[in-house]
Amino acid sequence: MDAQAQTGLIIWITGMNGSGKSTLARLLHQRLGLTGRRVELVDADDPAEILTKGLGATKEDRDTAVKRVGRVAKLLSRNGVVAVCAALSPYREPRDALRREARRFVEVFVDCQMETLLARDPIYKKAMAGEVKNVPGVDDPYEPPTHAEVTVHSNQESVEPAAARVFQALVDLKYVGPTEFGRLTGGQRPKRSRPAVGKKLAGRATRTTARKAPKKVAARTAKAKGKRAAVAPRTG
């Protein structure tokens, strides 16, 4: 097993009801477990999940759900476990607070168009009819992440390529090595990480300078020779 596999981390999957968080979380959990990782799945949207049992749909209850699941996830990750957490977690501040507190945190935003959500989950039609209240995206806000490591558009891509992009992000963050990436994706190779924009510009500047420098040196040398020839005394 790669050296990176000896340390834990949190994969936090957020998105609206019906977006596909649980499906993605289950696949990530399964694949990571097959490679020998110590991994645990916490699905906060599962009615049987004890960490969120008894909580309602108010903002305070939803913030409490993030704190409870986040607390357990931090304990797991500190003990070398990968905590895969699927949670509605509609408010940005509690998610960002967890990011600041966690040592190794990867946020995955599962985005989905409302037309698809309406077909997947009846709660939206009920909310639009006024039958239920506090539904994020209808009469309650859902605040998308501002710096998620991965954004999945579940109405456009299936769960397999979405999972592969999450694993690629783990490689880019050096939480997963190339060998383990191959095991996670059925033999695929990770893409090379792209250099930062600043590094690209610096590299271009260096190459440009390297290309232009010889011409400048040659021009200065020729000019200096011309001056020396002009002032040299005539003989004969």
Q: How far is CA 182 from CA 89, 157, 185, 186, 229, in A?
A: 31, 21, 5, 6, 68
- CA-based radius of gyration for the chain: 27
Instruction: Give the start-end residues of each E strand in the chain.
Output: 9-15, 39-43, 82-86, 105-111, 150-153
Q: Is 118 exposed, middle or buried (0-12, 13-18, 19+ CB in 10 A)?
A: middle
Angle at which helix 178-185 crosses helix 159-172, to 10 degrees, equals 170
DSSP 8-state assignment for residue 144: -
Clarify whether 89 is annotated catalytic.
yes
Q: Select which of 19, 22, 77, 89 is catalytic.
A: 89
Q: Which residues pair with 110 in a beta bridge?
A: 15, 152
The residues annotated as belonging to the active site are 89
